[in-house]
Amino acid sequence: MAYDRNKMLQEGVTRLDEAQSIANGTHRVALEVMGTMQDQRLQLQNAADKIQGAKDNTQVSGKYITGMERREMLYKLLLSVVAVVLFLLIVSLLYIKVTRSHR
């Protein structure tokens, strides 16, 4: 009977040691996973920062492009006005020349 008790105690100790070993292994794995997750979190934060920087740069570029489009429209308008003035000037000169030559 004492042998059975000792054997049961020994089996209990063995099971406890196995459980402790499994718990230690699980703890190590959990620490590794937490470290990996921390690295991934940092990577995600860096990616989010880069995306925000790109978004900011895109907004600034959009403002520059809008300004350039406005200047383009202004230059086209000015060019059209100059072309009309030159056309009217040429027509006026031709009219003056034609009317003077008939006199």
Element (H, E) at 74: helix 2-101
- What pTM does this model have? 0.56
Alpha carbon distance 89, 103 (integer Å): 22
Each residue's pLDDT expressed in tens, for the chain with a length of 103 residues: 677 888 888 988 899 999 999 999 999 999 999 999 999 999 999 999 999 999 999 999 999 999 999 999 999 999 999 999 999 999 999 999 999 887 6
Distance (Å) of CA 44 to CA 34, 54, 55, 72: 15, 15, 16, 41
Structure tokens at 83: 């072309």
Q: Where are the domains of the chain?
A: 1-73
Residue 98 Cα to chain centre, angstroms: 67
